[in-house]
Every structure is written in structure tokens, then in C-alpha cells.
Chain A
Amino acid sequence: MLTLVAGDRPSGYNFQVPSVLPTIRVKILFFGRLRELTGFTEETGEVLDGATLAEVFQTYAQRFPKLAGFRTSMVASLNQEFAAWETPVRAGDEIAFLPPVSGG
């Protein structure tokens, strides 16, 4: 499947020449109640180069509308490290969306 995310463009980006926007492939994971909402743990997604974690999440929230309600009670991780939502993603990154943890 193809997931397109609007990434931050540097000023001066020429919108007159849209052609094909550069995309990158990333691994996306969901756990716990978020996994139950999407119906899968893991998939490879294609996102716009430079998209932030928040923007990646937004595309999934459009695909799975119930996800949106969990945005304020979850954290994101990038390559197995907790990461700020503003963090841009790169090709090959592993992105996970994590509900509040309840181990122990």
C-alpha cells in the first residue's frame, strides 16, 4: 500500500514542478489497543521524505479514524527509542506507536 505524508518542504520548494514527490519506505508498528484498532502489528509504509512522526501518524489516523482519539495518550518511538513527534523520519526507519505501558 502507498501512504503519502506531507513533509516539511524547505522554503523555495518549487510547487510548479510537482511530478513525483520523493518517498521513502519505513516500517510501522502498532501495539496493544492500537494494534487492535489497525488489525496489524507491522507493515511497510511509504511516506514522503522528510515527514515527521506526527505526519506519519496523521495518515494512519485518516486510514483508521478511531486512532485519532488516542493521539494524546500515546508516544512514538523511532528505531526503538522514544522520540518527539516533530522528529523527521528517514528511509528504513522503524516507527512504532505505543499506548501507555503497563508491564510488571
Chain B
Amino acid sequence: MPFSPEVENCRLIREVIDAAELVRTVRDGMDGAIVTFDGFVRNESHGRETKYLEYEAYESMALTKMKEIAAQAHEKFAIDRMVIVHRLGRLEIGETSVFIAVSAPHRGAAFDACRYAIDTLKKTVPIWKKEYFADGAVWADGELPPAPPGGKPAS
């Protein structure tokens, strides 16, 4: 399905991520730069050879958090468009798990926004990966999202 950043800028998918298509969707006449982040499956983890990974997500919340990241990026940086796609399910070595593309009139904002988006995604989006090795599997070390201060319900 074609991706229209004005309508939908974040997506969780179970198919191969089409990076070239995502780059095309953020490219526009007013822009002068596109920065992308391509996160893909490494062949080792802490010195052990990885066979493949499995990703799972709290999908509804993950999508909400991804959209928040894109919205915050638009507030913080002078960018044009941003798309964030994360893949779920089984991924083989070398396959892209997350792809972010950002366009902007000038490169600085695009670099900053892309960095902000992937760093924030890794801290706050409820997605988990399990690493499969020849002799077992482990859940990857992750980051604990900051919980709001106690006492009252989160809005």
C-alpha cells in the first residue's frame, strides 16, 4: 500500500521494508536534504553468532508512541516530512528492522530530527526483540522507559 506521510507517517509491518519507497514519499520540491536511518539485524550479539531475531510489539501503543515521536520531531526541528516504519516478526541477518526517513529544506534539521527519532524510539516505543543463537535464545537488553512521577493518573 502506498505510504502518504501527510495521512500516515508511522507504520508497523510484517513484510520487508521498502526503503526506497519511503525515501520517495518524503521527497518534495521545498526540500534540499533527506536523511535516513536504516537499522538492520546484526550477525552477532555480545560475541555470539546470531541466527535470527524475532520482534514483538504492544502494537497499538507502539504506533501511538511512534506518532508522538514524529510530532515532536516536527515541533523541535525545521523538517518537512518524517516517516518511521518498524518491522515485526522474524527477521533474518541483514534485514531492516526499522527505517526512518526525514526531509528538510536544509540538512542540519534532517540530521538532528533523524537522530532524535531513532534515539527516542529505542527508549520509549514498546517493541521487544528476542535474539536466537545456535544454542538458545535471549530477550535483548533494553532500555526502561521513564515512568511519569507518581501520585496521579497519567493523562
Contacts and interface: CB of A to CB of B under 8 A. Distances in A.
Interface stretch (A6-14, A15-23, A55-63, A93-101): A93-101
A74 B137 CA distance: 20
Contacts, number: 113
A66 interface: no
A101 B153 contact: no
Contacts of B146: 82
B148 A101 contact: no
A100 B130 CA distance: 12
Nearest to B151: A86
A83 to B, nearest CB: 4
Give the contact-size bracket for chain B: 35 or more
Contact of A87 (B60, B139, B142, B153): B153
Given A31-B126, A32-B128, A85 B121 contact: no
Give the residue among B62, B64, B123, B150 with the most A Cβ atoms within 10 A: B150
B57 A98 contact: no
B152 interface: yes
Contact of B154 (A84, A99, A104): A84
Interface of B is mostly: mixed
B50 interface: no
A35 B139 CA distance: 12
Interface string B82-106: 0000100000000001100000000
Contacts of A51: none
Contacts of B149: 84
23 contacts: A31-B126, A32-B56, A32-B128, A32-B130, A33-B139, A76-B147, A77-B61, A82-B148, A87-B152, A88-B153, A96-B58, A98-B145, A100-B142, A100-B144, A101-B124, A101-B125, A101-B128, A102-B122, A102-B142, A103-B125, A104-B39, A104-B86, A104-B97
Interface of B: 39, 55-58, 60-62, 64, 86, 97-98, 118, 121-130, 139-155
